[in-house]
Structure 1
Amino acid sequence: MASYFDNVDSTFGASVDGKTMPRWQRKALDSNSNTGRLQTPKKEAVDRFIPNRASMDIEAAHYKLTHSENVPSPSKEHYAKAIESTLMGEANSKILAFKQKAPQPSEGHKNDLRVLYTQNRGAQRVRKASRAIPQNPERILDAPEMRPDFYLNILDWSSQNQIAVALNNSVYIWDAASGNTFELCHTEQAGDYISSVSWAGDGAHLAVGTSDSLVQIYDVTSQRKVRTMTGHSGRVAAMDWNGHILSTGSASGLIMNSDVRVANHCVSALEGHSQEVCGLKWSPDGKLLASGGNDNLVNIWSANGELRHTLTDHQAAVKALAWCPWQSNLLASGGGTADRHIRFWNTSSGNCVNSIDTQSQVCSLLWSAEHHEIISGHGFSKNQLSIWKYPSLAQVTELTDHTERVLGMAMSPDGQTVASIAADETIRFWKCFAADASNKKQKVMPTSSRLGAMIR
């Protein structure tokens, strides 16, 4: 009788000659006889380690594991020290190093990526001045009875090295070469005063504006008045020359261009300000006139009287105006207490190309062509003079000797000395733009330190 196990399902095994066939032999048999059965696909080689047991000596490995001494696993501290000593070795050793250094760039090579990593760099620290700038004035002159009025322009320095200053109702001339002082003129009517002074380019004629709306021209050499011009209805607080053309601005907002050579002097009348005109400056090439007013506006006029641009960024009266001596279309303007900004304008397009918040009322501006810098005179709150690099606008230094508001500034003919007049009734001279002695001969001012003649 046949045994049950002789006919058992091949799932559990097969019987050959009464013996059960192992599973692996049965699978091999099935793979040869049943070729139509689905086969497991062969796996492709992948990037991982698969041990080859056929090449391993299992018995030797087992002997070493069971008969060798037990070695404890190292601690984390011991492991870290071992790794550090292995990687670092000596103190100055490197993990990675090139056999040869990178080659030097060719001469004149410019790294274009420098802009990428520097364009968003924050504000630069104030750099120390590359030259010695005295922090104390070179001399101090008395200026008694001067009117502490922000809107007036009462100080100017001629090409012949003479300073004109208006002290209430009189104009005094101080010769910087000799130190001599004399009174040029004074107003006739009680209560009238001098509101502005401006030297002609020849350094021999001085324009004087008064509070009773007159404009007078004086020959300083002969100390006589050569003519009086009318046409304004308010005090004349701003004036500037362009050759034989004298531009004057008054409290009514009117600007007059006058040809001083002819009897009918008014060439053109410019109406672009609704309040007092307190700043007037012609460009060095004589093609453009800039005007600033108490209406917070800066107007740019052509020589024929055409209004080119009206600039409205300032938030306070604009008295301080200065044209850049090396860039003809660049104008600097300064705003009053509510604005405090120096703004730089491209007068060709009318765009503001740069600005800086000075934190103080801006009363006056002057450029230094020698050092490519601009100096500003200030009122509230520091009453200081500040020197700025252009175009970086990094502050070079501050001069803080004045005790009250700096109302005006003037530059010496050699461009090295700045005179500042302030409400503390003094004129102070600053040697802040000294030239290289090897390139220019420096003019030495007299040793007299007081303008005593001004009060007599």
Structure 2
Amino acid sequence: MTLTDMTSPERSSGGCASSWPPLQEAGSSPYMSSLCSPSGIPAVKRYGDRFIPNRSAMDMDMTHYLLTEPRKDKENAATPSPAREAYRRLLPKKLFNNHTRILAFQNRLPEPANNFLAELRADAASIQDKPAKQRRYIPQSPERMLDAPGLVDDYCLNLLDWGSANVLSIALGNTVYLWDASSGSTSELVTVDEDDGPVTSVSWAPDGRHIAIGLDSSAVQLWDSTSNRLRRMLQGVHESRVGSLAWNNNILTAGDMDGKIVNNDMRIRNHAVQTYHGHHQEVCGLTWSGSGKRLASGGNDSLLHIWDVSMASSAQSTGRTQWLHRLDDNLAAVKGLAWCPFQSNLLASGGGVGDRCIKFWNTHIGACLNSVDTGSQVCALL
């Protein structure tokens, strides 16, 4: 029931109705006795229904009086305690700030104890105070210098290779030397005959023990570095010098001066299992992808080929050459080749003196992603 119902003409005409509210006998309820006078006129001012606040019925002066003046306890006339008096004095100050307004607006809120912005500023200041992270140190002088007399000055040859056993192989003329980086010792692996030399390429097998050697006589030799013994001789496959070699598990891939590339399975007698024809001049660089499914070859004819194992197998049966991509954006011989170890379709290639660029290729679509001019021919990439 609302206040409107209580003060409607139906209820107020003729005094207080006998049916609502149900009046009791005098003295039975102080509230009901003060609600209506004997003449039917309300004796006190009503401030509104307690369940439905009415702003127009609020009396701020009365509210302030009731909060600031001590209430007389009719039932107990004892002197109020000091705590009660202190509470009475503090209550209006905290609520009204010595004003009769209930809401008091201030220009600025007090900052909390843990100010978020202040913490951010402190963190930024501490970061600025920290010294800058040191960049990776790149030495400007070599750790060790090795004499290399008789090193053939030929861009298309591959005369250095570092094995997984931390041993460096280097071909000097007709001799292959091994330098152990752990102990610093140098040993001679083999010196080939004058008719077979000079050595035109070297490549360590994945086991770090066996090493393949390509010769000017078109032969390929497989040596055991621990016993200095010749394990196998590959002949009759190439007709010119073998200047590039690459391993794919048990498959040794060799590229010759005529542009022919042959996959040799070192586990079987008839080792030549696949042949790629695509280059018109000497093969300068060879490298297999990490998955072993694709081979990149660079030639002195400025061509870069991407070969797929499955396509090479089908080409072997049909007798036709099949490459996945033939990339002819290079302006000079392509020798330096390297596959990205964490992105299988990304390949980097380096060009000769007429190109001087490192190019990055997407081998899925055969597109050049970027080209960086180094100012000099690129001999190797890792």
Q: Which amino acid aligns with 1:281?
A: T
Matches within 5 A, 1:30-429: 130-190=135-195, 192-230=197-235, 231-304=237-310, 305=312, 306-366=322-382
Q: Which amino acid aligns with 1:206?
A: I
Q: Which amino acid aligns with 1:224?
A: R
Please, what is the CA RMSD of the aligned residues?
2.0
1:189 CA drift (Å): 2.6
1:412 aligned residue: none
Alpha-carbon separation, structure 2, partners of 1:253 and 1:154: 19
Tell me the TM-score normalised to structure 2 length: 0.62
Alpha-carbon separation, structure 2, partners of 1:227 and 1:357: 42
Alpha-carbon separation, structure 2, partners of 1:213 and 1:268: 17
Q: Between Structure 1 and Structure 2, how many residues are aligned? A: 244
CA deviations over 1:14-50 (Å, ceiling 9, x no partner)? xxxxxxxxxxxxxxxxxxxxxxxxxxxxxxxxxxxxx
Alpha-carbon separation, structure 1, partners of 2:308 and 2:345: 12
1:337 CA drift (Å): 0.7
1:59 aligned residue: none
Alpha-carbon separation, structure 1, partners of 2:196 and 2:364: 43
Alpha-carbon separation, structure 2, partners of 1:180 and 1:336: 34
* Structure 2 alignment gaps of length 5 or more: 1-107, 109-115, 121-132, 313-321
Alpha-carbon separation, structure 1, partners of 2:159 and 2:278: 24
Alpha-carbon separation, structure 2, partners of 1:226 and 1:210: 16
1:63 aligned residue: none
Higher radius of gyration, 1 or 2: 2
Higher RCO (CA < 8 A, seq sep 6+): 1
Q: Is the 8 A contact 2:350 2:381 kept in 1?
A: yes
Alpha-carbon separation, structure 2, partners of 1:129 and 1:170: 43
1:200 CA drift (Å): 0.4
Identity of aligned residues (%): 53
Q: Cα gap change, 1:296/1:283 in structure 2, threshold over 3 Å: closer, same or farther?
A: same
Alpha-carbon separation, structure 2, partners of 1:129 and 1:167: 40
Tell me the TM-score normalised to structure 1 length: 0.52
Q: Which amino acid aligns with 1:348?
A: H
Alpha-carbon separation, structure 1, partners of 2:216 and 2:172: 13
CA deviations over 1:96-122 (Å, ceiling 9, x no partner)? xxx9xxx99xx9xxxxxxxxxxxxxxx
Alpha-carbon separation, structure 1, partners of 2:372 and 2:169: 31
CA deviations over 1:324-383 (Å, ceiling 9, x no partner)? 1111110000111111111000011100011111111111111xxxxxxxxxxxxxxxxx
Alpha-carbon separation, structure 1, partners of 2:182 and 2:207: 17
Q: Is the 8 A contact 2:169 2:178 kept in 1?
A: yes
Q: Cα gap change, 1:216/1:129 in structure 2, threshold over 3 Å: closer, same or farther?
A: farther
CA deviations over 1:57-104 (Å, ceiling 9, x no partner)? xxxxxxxxxxxxxxxxxxxxxxxxxxxxxxxxxxxxxxxxxx9xxx99
CA deviations over 1:132-155 (Å, ceiling 9, x no partner)? 211111111111111111111010
* Structure 1 alignment gaps of length 5 or more: 1-98, 108-127, 367-456
Higher strand share: 1
1:130 CA drift (Å): 2.0
Alpha-carbon separation, structure 1, partners of 2:178 and 2:135: 35
Alpha-carbon separation, structure 2, partners of 1:243 and 1:217: 14
